[in-house]
A = this chain, B = another copy of it.
């Protein structure tokens, strides 16, 4: 049965969302045009009416992921002005995001970072760096406000914040319910806070 004809901007959106879900479930490398098509409800060759190729779809997906991370940052900054609280809330939001999109860590740790072309590396960068910078900004503000030790590099702290989430997401997945990511964040954050806060 032939799918209904849909305007290209609508179909592009559907394709992007389908691809995002698939990437988030299984990672980049497992993404196949045929799977996207199936999820959208068209045949694979129809995808090329709306995107030039698979690479273009992936570019869009990476943008979407980056956006979601940035939305989380904006959200916590709206919610409180206290840097330590911002970090805590950001970790919670990040954990929630990863519960929905389980494979996102593997996107960030994509093998393209190592084996890929400079172009591919730049694309991976395009997610990681802005997020890192946003966290560093929060840390710096906390240092200026006297809540966070200013003898530490903001980057060191920011990397440690990311370090709460990233390995934990993997382990949560491997442990199948015997290790809860949100729970881990609640336990790990006070440890890190103790390490970075001014006493």
Contacts and interface: CB of A to CB of B under 8 A. Distances in A.
Contact of A114 (B102, B129, B188): B102
A121 B105 CA distance: 15
For this chain, the copies found in one complex come to 2
A192 B171 CA distance: 20
Contacts of A110: 106, 111
Interface string A7-45: 000000000000000000111111000000000000000
Contacts of A174: 113, 121, 124-125, 128-129
Report the interface size class on chain A: 35 or more
A167 interface: yes
A54 interface: no
B106 A113 contact: yes
